[in-house]
Structure 1
């Protein structure tokens, strides 16, 4: 991911927070069948390894499982908030007109060599943790133990789990930090007044700004 210094995100706790707030990640691998990608909910253990360890699972029928079992390097993409930035947001447009559209966004790329596993106990732990995470805020959370034991056992036999110790992290917050304070304020105001909730979300991440 191309990351100019002005947009680089290096703070590990903040990167971990962005990872944990991303509900669906993209797992990308390259193997005998070329590039493959899967969209997955993942768990992060921030205290396991220097950069943390990711956990997830794939359907055993997914051909990407072979890449995990081969231990080739994987890329996991965590895409955060994003929004189109109109030149109309910039006061500079009225001053000199030398402005163009862009796209602001937050993203984290995690790299590492996954370890695949099919042990039923480890799989159950991952599935249970994922379920508890996403059911936790519901009024009546569903639990894995609500399903018949033999049914869960059958489901576990149909998946492959993986642990991915993160070897390298690249974080990026492209939020107009390279523009003037006035332009940054214009971006924030333009996004905050948008009818698109995704624009409003990115507005909340906007920095106070730096002088160009």
Structure 2
């Protein structure tokens, strides 16, 4: 009796590649930048196909394709998509420093994501606060300041406290209270011959 043919062994599923860890956000941005330019190498090291891909990548980067007619653009993008040519990213910029003077480029990827989330939240709060101030000014100019709604004022008061927290800055009593927005502080002048500056309290200094 002839032996039964052995069953072909099932192909083992390929293990997913481990997620690459980066020492900081600057390294992540640099790697992302380089990955978007796989054909930006010495031409002598590229194959004929890679040289063609490089030419298309350069056209993609310069944006010259935008001046072409519809047929040319369609043909161009078909080649880009078929060959999965990535859009070249601009070179990473300096991220500067945060409000505590820390170099943002040294943040971990997770820290940077949290930083961006805080900044977006802060920007939204500042926009809402600006709208509130503008509305209050319009009401005062039109003599309708009495239309202020206490709920809105309290909401703005809490908003300003949160802005101060996100900025790492403690707001003064008058700065964070919308009811003092129309009060203009009077500059204190101790005179040219003053021997020493008077040590006012923070609250008093804010008022003058």
Tell me the TM-score normalised to structure 1 length.
0.20
Which has the larger share of strand? 1
Larger radius of gyration: 2
Tell me the TM-score normalised to structure 2 length.
0.20
